[in-house]
Structure 1
Amino acid sequence: MADDVGRRRAALKRCPLGHCLRSGFLNNLANSLLGRFRQRSVPSDLDESIELDRAALLLRPPGHSDRSQSLNNLAASLRDRFRQRGVLADLDESIELHRAALLLRPPGHSDRSVSLNNLAASLGDRFRQRGVPSDLDESIELLRAALLLRPPGHSDRSLSLNNLAASLRDRFRQRGVPSDLDESIELHRAALLLHPPGHSDRSVSLNNLAASLGDRFRQRGVSSDLDESIELLRAALLLRPPGHSDRSLSLNNLAAILRDRFRQRGVPSDLDESIELLRAALLLRPPGHSDRSLSLNNLAAILRDRFRQRGVPSDLDESIELLRAALLLRPPGHSDRSVSLSNLSASLGDRFRQRGVPSDLDESIELLRAALLLRPPGHSDRSMSLNNLAASLGDRFRQRGVPSDLDESIELDRAALLLRPPGHSDRSMSLNNLAVSLRDRFRQRGVSSDLDESIELDRAALLLRPPGHSDRSQSLNNLANGLRDRFRQRAVSSDLDETFSLFLQLPSISYAVSRADLTAAKSWAAAAEETNHSSALLAYQTALKFLDQHVTLLSSSSRHFDVLRMATASLAVDAFSCSVRHGAPTTAVELVEQGRAVFWSQLARLSSPFDGFSLPGDTGGVLAEGFEQLSFSLRSAFDQSTEDQSPQIRQLVIQWNGVVSRIRMLPDSSRFLLPPLFSNLQKAAEEGPVIIVNASQYGCDALIVLIDQNPVHVSIGITRAQVSELSSDFHSVAEQFGSSDHQNKLVGILRKLWHHIVDPVVQALRKSNVRPGSRIWWCPTAEFTLLPLHAAGPYERERDNLSEIYISSYTPTLATLVRARQRVSRYASTQYFVGIGQGKPDRGKELRCVAPELAAIAQHLVPIVTSFTSLEDSDATVQGVLDALTHNQWLHLACHGTPNRQRPFESSFAMRDGPLMIKDIIRSNWQHPEFAFLSACHTTVGGETSPDESIHLAAAMQFSGFRSVIGSMWSVDDEVARQGDWTARGLRWHCTRP
């Protein structure tokens, strides 16, 4: 190419001004420089080409036979410069030159089809830049005319088929008319037939057809379109081996469609392959490459997707750095600068929400301001920028309380609403957002007009969200809360009546339940409790039904655990209290069970969805397979989606619900994946009563679940605040073990537990004929989960303590206990017991009495069990424990227990080589574990902000299959004599039970 340019320069020098052939030599040199620019992207080559084309055009005035050629060539070069630098004047001039060339090529001219095609291409560029529909419509008509001039057999027919197909695809993307996309696909198929194997443009046709099929998949969700698109793109990539000029494009496109398949089906390898393809594409677009900014942006986007799925901070950090690099390549004036500003703002917003660093939010807002300036009135994305900036300012107001942020957010929401008139697809969103901001301002400043306007906007939004709309519950909730605020301010009874009229529409929601639905139902319950409305119990039942439907569709990732933790806070315990107050104890048991320990229930559901169900016949097998595939796809789609109600997820949910409904029609499967009824939960009391101890803001109560009668209610004379204080005192004492006065403080706490809680329960147990020495199970809720109920007592000589009356165990839920018993081997008659002691862990103080403890246990058990193995000190490693429990069904564990109340999944038993964490325990696959005695500190201490989720060591052991778990509140070195006594009694009772 360099030699060609040099030769043409030399030839031009031989044609001085006035030479009759000078225009031809100018044209030739311009073409060579344009070709070199397209190969090497050197800007000076393009600038010189344009100047030479202008000079040639001057030598070809109107009437010159080659004028149309010069007009066309200059237009093409200006179009290339527009694509490189984004200067609109270049594009406008290109279009005018192409129009002039077309006039010189009337019907019948041999080059008319070329001019029709070129003018259409430039109009298409202007449409993509400015969004004027008439440019796109004209482009399509020109391309149809060009195609008519290139009938079957014409050498350029495939080019015209391809170009018309591409423009129809653009119009589909703008207006969503399905026929445009279908025609685009058919045209691309026709073009591919003209590019058989071996044709130089086959890879282009494969790529283009794949792109349109990908669009149709995203619109209609037909899996065959997605699969065909991927196969076409893989075939195109094979035709673009290393060194091919379009290899980076194929890598990019295949990565994009694999990302789509990951979002549909959730196969992690698709996401990882997509990232690797984008990394390879980026290497082929080094600094200086015209598409480097696009590759940086695409890789950043998919790393952000992976962060949202797996929560790895480095993915988000890398995404932000890539977006910063892309922004540098899109300086002021670049056509895609506003897109880069918006994308970087979004990733910084994600990082702010994850880590709470104020500077990320501030920078995100500044980027959104800059993007808005590049989307002036008339820009197609202006309303989106107004909306996003308003939302971020609202976030900052809620974080810092600066009134000006809220005022500006409201003005931006008003401006966005004006750009979304009646009929606009996002109008309901803008109505909702403005209403929320006005309600925030009312709550801050008390201006009645803000509240009134907010209510009217919510009414308008609700009209646009009829029954069946995915956001209807959000609008019902917002309008109800606005009316409730106005009732509080003005006490107009009609506002309160309308509030509950709106809430009572919630139980009819039947589509895929989102967090917004759950939030609305919780608001209903709170409003009913506040006003003593008769719908309170129905509100709780609806909220817990929504919770169950929502979590069924979520993965067990830590991100979704955080979502569930926020969603379930106090809901179950308040529902329990409401049921008790309404005289419905069996409902209380069902509701508290449904809303507590959601993580464990969900993990069990995902680990073995057909646990307890046997689907009969070939139909059952097909349904089981379909259910598992859809569940996997749906959970993965939720992991990747920022909106619970994306069209893709809604389609999957429809299919998922259909399969579940069909399974429930099979014999004995009507309760498939539904919360258990009391009759099922009552089975937890087969080997002794289960006592649910509940702490709610509305009162504290206990229910004793017995195998042969309705639950027995025990009123507890203590408030939740007092329970919380006791819990705090206990954990302060627990941290002082070994100090001189901790025992007196501990006894004082245990006496309070006895007086307020345990003694009333014991009296009720005696009245229910539960004999002393019997086994009982505690199922505590809320702050009760953090207290040692089993150790309570008056600690006076004339009165027994609880440990001397009944043998206590704990269970996080009744269903957990039932499930653990179902898994016990019905045919195992041998009892293999392992005693594990770690007195010298890698961290923490030495425990001197571990060996005597294990010796005492062995003395009691050797006559009873089939086999007793002791694992101590250097043998008591993390892997040693895991291995030992694959061969033993009975366990006594003496060591330090270490709770992690901020990250409960990292709570652990201290072993010689490190911590044995909850997350290690729940991944285990032990065979028929039956009994575990945990002689360790804090085994029932869960997360600080989510005690009802029972993410603690004892619950993890029970989830892993142990039928009975006894958890100690202190380690073996503390209160050795007392612990040794009741430990041995508990073990001996369990091992000799009938």
Structure 2
Amino acid sequence: MLCCCFRRTGELSDITDAITAQRKGVEITPRGHADLPGRLNNLGTLLTIRFERTGELSDITDAIALRQKAIEITPQGYSGLANCLNNLGGSFTRRFERMGELSDIADAIAAQQKAVELTPQAHPDLPAMLNNLGNSLSCRFERTGELSDIVDAIAVLQKAVDVTPHGHIDMPSYLNNLASSFTSRFERTGELSDIADAIAAQQKSVELTPQGHADLPGQLDNLGCSLTSRFEQTGELSDIVDAIAVRKKALALRGFLLMHAHLPDLLNNLGTSFTCRFRRTGQPSDIADAIALRQKAIEITPHGHAGLPSYLNNLGGSFASRFKRTGELSDIADAIGAQQKALELTPHGHVGLPAMHNNLGGSFTRRFERTGDLSDIANAIALRQKAVELTPHGHANMPDYLKNLGISFYQRYSLTGNSGDLEEAISYFKTATISIVNSPQARLDAAQRWVRALMQYDPQSSEIIPAFDVALGLIATVAGLEQTVKGRYTRLGDKSGLALEAAAAACALDRSDKALEWLEQGRCLVWNQLNSLRTPLDDLRVQDATLAQGIANVSEKLDRAGSSRVQPHVDMSLSEKMSLEDEARTHLGLAKQWDALLRKTRALAGFESFLMPLPCSNIMSHLPESGPIIVINIDQHRCDALALLAGLDEPLHIPLTDFSIDKAKKYRQIFEDQLLARKLRSREVEVPLSLRGMMSAPIGENGEDLSVYRALRGLWDEVVKPILDTLGFSSVDQTSGEVPPRVWWCPTGPLSFLPLHASGIYQGSIRENVSDYVVSSYTPTVTAVTNRVKNRHFTDPHASGLFLTSQPNAPSASPIPGTTKEVQSIYKRAQESGVRVFRLEGGAMSVAACLERMQEYSSIHLACHGSQNAAEPLQSRFLFHEGNLELGTILRSNLKNADLAFLSACQTSTGQEALSDEAVHLAAGMLAAGYRRVIGTMWSIGDAPAQEVATAFYEYLFSHRDETSGSSFDGSLSAVALHHATQQLRLSLDDSEYALLTWIPFVHFGL
């Protein structure tokens, strides 16, 4: 009874009194009495329990001796023998956790296996015995890294859960232990399904545990461990926030138990989560808290404790993280000191040795980077070589260790110039990259270092092409379909530019074909993934209808999960978080099914390249006849244009030797500054002093022209005119009614934010601009155009028509008084032309009504406010009187007859700098939703210009209709119509900067 009280309350006096009573019971039991083995065993149990609370080594040593004696005097066939063996195993395991002696855990497993063998399948004690055996196997795995141990542990622990009756008091403990084993295997293999299963089991364990129970802190801490582990692989910030929250709660529940044996673990583990968040956010308080917690953990840990080396190693990691941010030499000295001490205390053969060698090597490498002391980098290389040597084959950390060893060799090469060190670095980067281990992030990091080392020191190396092939392939894995769309964009944030870097390298090697392939593969990745989920399956249905339907079903579910799954946050209840984890596990399972279905499809004759990155010849096989697609790659090393013309097998490579990424950034800044100045001027507010000079005379500090004229001329002279000249374009006399040829611009990087369609010379006696030569359209990728050429659009004649809507007074948005007039004017003109048209305005239109009309009408004109969400593009939306129409909702609507979308709203084609090559704007999203062509705006537009452009645009389309078209509405001339409309607006204005900024923002995407 005293023991039960202790388990519930954690009150130390209860377990001490229980031991006193039990000792008395043993003392007065005669030798040879039938109850003596049981009483010896029970006393051992109580001593083990107190040891778990206090860490007093004599308690666990006495417990083992008592339990061994109980087994010695137990007669063969005694029903309690299995229980005695099970308990002896538990005590051996506890001592192993304290001292780290491998013989203890081997003895524990042997005793517990024997106990399980002696226990009938239906016996009520079997779940506990299976649980204890599983824990011991897991403990040995943590020490040795032997994969079979953790596989066996999970199987045994899962069986323990399966045979435990519903509502059993020990179910939370069994779930917690199963979860810990899943986490251990995840850290070994990197398999995301393991960590998802771990978190789900731990949440269930916490839910089933009563408040105030002595086991709850440990269960919360383990949940924090799994959340932290998943954060380190996926980078999902909500995981580390939750991990810190649950670990703080665990520590608060143990706060009054200052001498508890597990308190150092709780402190150390919370420090781990703080350190992880610091590495992501850089918040100084996080790393300060981490260091303080870990120092406290070490301070209260008894000498000789098996956990001490781990605490010291982790403290060193926190110091090293702070040094990386602050450069304070005392921090890296403290890191090295703590990590060296950790290595000294760790027994030979310990599973943690590779990580300790790697981490200490990292600290020496960082100090070398600061001081240049060659002895530091020599130590780093030796330590990291040892880490690689000690790491089991197939371990999830191996790519990281190989990459880090390569970094240390490369650092030494950078100082000494020793070519042998460079060769070693490149070799280790390559080995890490091509590793078969499921560690895509580490492999991608290694791949980037591999190609950059090759490009810097051997730019003609034959390995550059295969290296970039692997790197670009890994990006899709890092931002895979098992993640939400937001999660994928988060993962892509620091990968932005890799495809551009690869294309620049390919151009330098005269491989324009590879440059095109990599740009298509590595840009607009998320839109491409969404498109792949909507790929036509007609050909596959002919060969295997069942397989095609399976792909269609999984595609639909993946699409929905990626766009609608909510991420947990701290304020959610546990039941809400558990529900979200169930959704995440389902999502992960769908991604696995998708991969399996793709493998099955690619095994069919004729489908070997199904949904794989396209080779150059395929990309160029359905180019539009009416003009070239011009892909412009911009990188810090060089800038190039790739002209794709129908009839050619490879792109025409046009080096842009006078342009640079710095110029692109400068021109973009000019536009941003002038647009801000215009906005401030229009609002008649106090203008900041820094902008006053720019508004009157945009001249830089050194007399440099910073006007819009300069930016547009720079784009003309350095980018557009060289391309047009190479392709043989000449100016067109448009006053005669001649229509210029089409060109599709596909810019990359910072060039994506610049108006190539308006580049030109607008001052002086000789004036010319791109509109004199071509009709410009944009496309986020080449395949966004070629897929539309390939899949000829046959709109259902009953759906062909124009749907018009205006939303002049949406809640939480400024009024747009001119939209009603704009829509009414277009509506009237459409009726006069005999076009099938429908108008729905203001509060009369709900989101559901809009979606219904989008199904019924091939084209839509949206005159309203638009709101872009760069973090979650599928939540970008159009603001209505009655609710908001989100892009994700449009994407799920399966608009089979979508043709033209005119987005008469502000900034509908404005992207985000950090994701410049992901086209996170509404115009690209509407293309992804199925519209063949989209009109958008690069920045805010005025009401009057918007009305003028829209009116002139539709007037052109209505007046150029085929007489045989009946009531249908065709947007195929939309690019020419917009060209005409913007030229009409321009002719009504002067060529002042204000006027230029008025007509330039209107842009055309798609066919």
TM-score interval for Structure 1 and Structure 2 normalised by the shorter chain? 0.7 to 0.9
Q: 1:879 to 1:698 in 2, by over 3 A?
A: farther
Matching residue of 1:713: 653
Greater RCO structure (CA 8 Å; 6+ sep): 2
Structure 1 residue identity aligned to 2:794: R
Matching residue of 1:991: 971
Q: 1:806 to 1:456 in 2, by over 3 A?
A: same
Conserved in 1, the CA contact under 8 Å of 2:901 and 2:933? Answer: yes
Structure 2 residue identity aligned to 1:365: I
Give the distance between the partners of 1:182 and 1:485, measured in 2 at CA: 34
The SS at the match of 2:651 is strand
Query: Which residue of the other structure, out of 137, 148, 153, is the alignment partner of 1:172?
Result: 137
Query: Which residue of the other structure, out of 891, 894, 905, is the alignment partner of 1:936?
Result: 905
Matching residue of 2:505: 578
Matching residue of 1:291: 215
Conserved in 2, the CA contact under 8 Å of 1:904 and 1:952? Answer: yes
Query: Which residue of the other structure, out of 450, 469, 472, is the alignment partner of 1:524?
Result: 450
Conserved in 1, the CA contact under 8 Å of 2:96 and 2:105? Answer: yes
Q: 1:519 to 1:927 in 2, by over 3 A?
A: same
**1:347-403 CA distances to partner (integer Å, 9 max, x unpaired)?**
333444555432222212222233344556644334433332222222211222222
Report the CA distance between 1:557 and its aligned residue: 4.0
Conserved in 1, the CA contact under 8 Å of 2:135 and 2:177? Answer: no
**1:237-261 CA distances to partner (integer Å, 9 max, x unpaired)?**
16x4xxxx55655776798899999
Conserved in 1, the CA contact under 8 Å of 2:434 and 2:443? Answer: no
- Is 1:541 equivalent to 2:541 in the alignment? no
Matching residue of 2:670: 729
Report the CA distance between 1:626 and its aligned residue: 12
How does 1:505-524 map onto structure 2 within 5 Å?
A: 508-510=434-436, 512=438, 514-524=440-450
Matching residue of 2:166: 237
Conserved in 2, the CA contact under 8 Å of 1:548 and 1:675? Answer: no
Report the CA distance between 1:726 and its aligned residue: 0.9
Give the distance between the partners of 2:541 and 2:922, measured in 1 at CA: 31
Give the distance between the partners of 2:948 and 2:42, measured in 1 at CA: 97
Conserved in 1, the CA contact under 8 Å of 2:624 and 2:789? Answer: no
Conserved in 2, the CA contact under 8 Å of 1:837 and 1:872? Answer: yes
Query: Which residue of the other structure, out of 806, 810, 813, is the alignment partner of 2:778?
Result: 810
Give the distance between the partners of 1:64 and 1:266, measured in 2 at CA: 52
Report the CA distance between 1:605 and its aligned residue: 3.5
The SS at the match of 1:237 is coil
Matching residue of 2:637: 698
Conserved in 2, the CA contact under 8 Å of 1:840 and 1:847? Answer: yes
Report the CA distance between 1:895 and its aligned residue: 3.5
Q: 1:35 to 1:424 in 2, by over 3 A?
A: closer
How does 1:635-714 map onto structure 2 within 5 Å?
A: 660-682=598-620, 683-686=622-625, 688-709=627-648, 710-714=650-654
- Is 1:400 equivalent to 2:400 in the alignment? no
- Is 1:966 equivalent to 2:935 in the alignment? yes
Conserved in 2, the CA contact under 8 Å of 1:249 and 1:281? Answer: no
Structure 2 residue identity aligned to 1:700: C
Structure 1 residue identity aligned to 2:774: Y
How does 1:468-483 map onto structure 2 within 5 Å?
A: 471=397, 473-483=399-409
Bigger mean CA offset, 911-920 vs 523-532: 911-920
Matching residue of 2:742: 775
Structure 2 residue identity aligned to 1:603: L
Query: Which residue of the other structure, out of 317, 328, 331, is the alignment partner of 2:255?
Result: 328
**1:22-64 CA distances to partner (integer Å, 9 max, x unpaired)?**
xxxxxxxxxx766877788776565445445556777789999
The SS at the match of 2:855 is coil
- Is 1:589 equivalent to 2:529 in the alignment? no
Q: 1:974 to 1:321 in 2, by over 3 A?
A: farther
Structure 2 residue identity aligned to 1:838: Q
Conserved in 1, the CA contact under 8 Å of 2:160 and 2:174? Answer: no
Query: Which residue of the other structure, out of 492, 502, 507, is the alignment partner of 1:564?
Result: 492
Matching residue of 1:763: 725
Query: Which residue of the other structure, out of 290, 306, 321, is the alignment partner of 1:364?
Result: 290
Conserved in 1, the CA contact under 8 Å of 2:479 and 2:487? Answer: no
Query: Which residue of the other structure, out of 808, 811, 817, is the alignment partner of 1:842?
Result: 811
Q: 1:76 to 1:824 in 2, by over 3 A?
A: same
**1:505-556 CA distances to partner (integer Å, 9 max, x unpaired)?**
5775455461122122212232233235212444433322333454456524
Structure 1 residue identity aligned to 2:138: R
**1:914-950 CA distances to partner (integer Å, 9 max, x unpaired)?**
6655455445443331112233332221112121111
Matching residue of 2:917: 948
Matching residue of 1:14: none
Name which one, 1 or 2, has greater alpha-carbon Rg: 1
Report the CA distance between 1:675 and its aligned residue: 0.7
Matching residue of 2:573: none
Q: 1:971 to 1:334 in 2, by over 3 A?
A: same
Report the CA distance between 1:761 and its aligned residue: 3.3
The SS at the match of 2:895 is coil
Structure 2 residue identity aligned to 1:696: D
Conserved in 2, the CA contact under 8 Å of 1:387 and 1:413? Answer: yes
Report the CA distance between 1:132 and its aligned residue: 3.9
How does 1:860-879 map onto structure 2 within 5 Å?
A: 861-862=830-831, 866-875=835-844
Report the CA distance between 1:133 and its aligned residue: 4.2
Report the CA distance between 1:666 and its aligned residue: 0.8
Matching residue of 1:22: none
Count of residues paired in the alignment: 902
Q: 1:295 to 1:145 in 2, by over 3 A?
A: closer
**1:703-724 CA distances to partner (integer Å, 9 max, x unpaired)?**
2212222423344332211111
Report the CA distance between 1:955 and its aligned residue: 1.0
How does 1:478-497 map onto structure 2 within 5 Å?
A: 478-497=404-423
Give the distance between the partners of 2:68 and 2:103, measured in 1 at CA: 15
Give the distance between the partners of 2:643 and 2:17, measured in 1 at CA: 90
Structure 1 residue identity aligned to 2:903: L
Q: 1:400 to 1:915 in 2, by over 3 A?
A: farther
Structure 2 residue identity aligned to 1:534: Q
Conserved in 2, the CA contact under 8 Å of 1:229 and 1:257? Answer: no
Q: 1:874 to 1:896 in 2, by over 3 A?
A: same
Bigger mean CA offset, 672-681 vs 723-732: 672-681
The SS at the match of 1:949 is coil
Bigger mean CA offset, 106-115 vs 814-823: 106-115
Q: 1:921 to 1:60 in 2, by over 3 A?
A: closer
Matching residue of 1:886: 855
Conserved in 2, the CA contact under 8 Å of 1:319 and 1:347? Answer: no
Conserved in 2, the CA contact under 8 Å of 1:943 and 1:951? Answer: yes
RMSD between aligned residues? 5.2
Report the CA distance between 1:862 and its aligned residue: 4.6
Give the distance between the partners of 2:237 and 2:297, measured in 1 at CA: 28
The SS at the match of 1:948 is coil
Bigger mean CA offset, 582-591 vs 165-174: 165-174
Give the distance between the partners of 2:945 and 2:122, measured in 1 at CA: 91
**Uncovered stretches (5+) of structure 1, i.e. residues with no partner:** 1-31, 184-211, 641-648
Structure 1 residue identity aligned to 2:753: L
Report the CA distance between 1:951 and its aligned residue: 0.8
Query: Which residue of the other structure, out of 208, 220, 224, is the alignment partner of 1:281?
Result: 208
Give the distance between the partners of 1:72 and 1:601, measured in 2 at CA: 64
Give the distance between the partners of 2:946 and 2:824, measured in 1 at CA: 13
Structure 2 residue identity aligned to 1:816: A
Q: 1:269 to 1:888 in 2, by over 3 A?
A: farther
How does 1:737-752 map onto structure 2 within 5 Å?
A: 737=678, 739=681, 746=708, 749-752=711-714
Report the CA distance between 1:618 and its aligned residue: 7.2
Query: Which residue of the other structure, out of 751, 754, 759, is the alignment partner of 1:784?
Result: 751
The SS at the match of 1:934 is strand
Structure 1 residue identity aligned to 2:266: S
Give the distance between the partners of 1:929 and 1:736, measured in 2 at CA: 38
Matching residue of 2:949: 979
